[in-house]
Amino acid sequence: MQPSSSSNPPPRAPRVLSKHYRITTPEYIEFSFELAGIFRRGLALLIDVLVCAALLLACVLVVSLLSLIPIVNELTNSLSLVFLLLATFLVKVGYMWALEWFFGGKTVGKHVMHIRVIQKTGVRLGGMQAFLRNVLRPVDAVPWFFNALNCYFVGAGFALFSSTQQRLGDFLAHTLVIYERPVRLPPPIQLSTEEERFWSDSTFEAHLQRLTSEERNLLLQSSLQREELSVEARLRVFRALSEHLQREFGFQKPANLSDEKLVLSATSKLLSQASAKKASQESAPLQT
């Protein structure tokens, strides 16, 4: 029996509950992100400050070593200050922006503390968002006297009094800083004899290879984040994915095989195919 259209819940705006940011998709599927706390973000920033200090120290050592060479001594004396100022600007401004852009919202400190910057829509951080959230970092770091001590008084104040724990740069870029708990892959799925025969058919492996990258990513993310979904949303997500696979592949799943187990089995097959392909490429001899 199909549910009537009136039984569908109305669209809901993102909301924050107990330090969790929740997003409801147009398909009424709810995802939850745990917001990173001020203390954890402060430790990540402290690590990044130490990394920046090490980079600046390396620049000073380079200039000092160059000044020992008589031939370039006069040149380094005249350009050393310019070089150090340029290096300071690039490290302070470019370090956070470049790493957050190229590494999906992570810097060295954020990686160590298991936090990440994402857009408020829940998607990966882009280059423009990374630039916007970091262009206001000098303002967040006011007062300047305490900046060397890693005291972001303005930014920390906004984050403390914001329900989404956003500093000024986050408000400008519409970004959030979330905490990513270490993900443990689920144990291997135990299949019955009938299910083994069902998945050992080479036709299904060929179908799986034709899945688009978006479909593969959707299967993988749904499998990894299924514990974060409510029971109702979890059933709805895997039922929709199962029906999509059956419709695209033109098959009927066994009656004793649940929708979730079907999707998890397909995801496991995809990962096995990717691992086998990578292993074959690494073991293949170089062509001359």
The better pLDDT of the pair 83, 52 is held by 52
Confidence of residue 202 (pLDDT cuts 50, 70, 90): low
Q: Is the pLDDT of residue 189 over 70?
A: no
What single letter denotes the amino acid at residue 281? Q
pLDDT of residue 109: 94
* pLDDT value for 288: 42
What pLDDT, on a 0 to 100 scale, did the predictor assign at position 114? 92
The more confident residue out of 103 and 252 is 103
pLDDT score recorded for residue 53: 87
Per-residue pLDDT tens over the stretch 213-225 = 778 878 888 887 7
Residue 47 confidence (pLDDT): 93
**Residue scoring higher pLDDT (31 or 57):** 57
| More confident of the two residues 42 and 9 | 42
Give residue limits of the domains in the chain: 38-179, 196-273
More confident residue, 192 or 261: 261
Distance CA 153, CA 136 (A): 13
How far, rounded to the nearest angstrom, does the alpha carbon of residue 163 sit from its chain's CA centroid? Answer: 21
Here the tokens at position 93 are: 């401004």
Beta carbons within 10 angstroms of residue 254's beta carbon: 14
What's the predicted TM-score (pTM) here? 0.59
Indicate the pLDDT class of residue 16, thresholds 50, 70 and 90.
very low
List Cβ neighbours of 117 (8 Å cut-off, separation of 6 or more): 100, 105, 106, 110, 125, 129, 130, 133, 175, 176, 177, 178
Predicted pLDDT at 101: 92
For residues 10-21, give the mean pLDDT.
53
Q: Looking at residue 26, what is its pLDDT?
A: 66
Categorize the per-residue pLDDT at 282 as very low, low, confident or very high, splitting at 50, 70 and 90. Answer: low
C-beta neighbour count of 220 within 10 angstroms? 14
At residue 171, φ and ψ (nearest 5 deg) are: -65, -40
Q: Give residue 193's identity as a one-letter amino acid code.
A: T
How does the average pLDDT of the chain come out, rounded? 76
Examine the pLDDT at 195 and tell me if it is beyond 70.
no
Q: From residue 230, how far is each of 25, 69, 178, 227 by CA, in Å?
A: 14, 67, 19, 8
H helix intervals, the chain: 38-67, 70-89, 95-102, 108-112, 127-135, 137-140, 153-161, 168-173, 193-199, 202-209, 213-224, 231-249, 259-283
Q: What is the structure's pLDDT at 5?
A: 41
pLDDT band at 283 (very low <50, low <70, confident <90, very high): low
Distant-in-sequence contacts of 39-43, Cβ < 8 A, 24+ apart: 40/113, 40/115, 40/179, 41/113, 41/115, 41/159, 41/177, 42/150, 42/152, 42/156, 43/109, 43/113
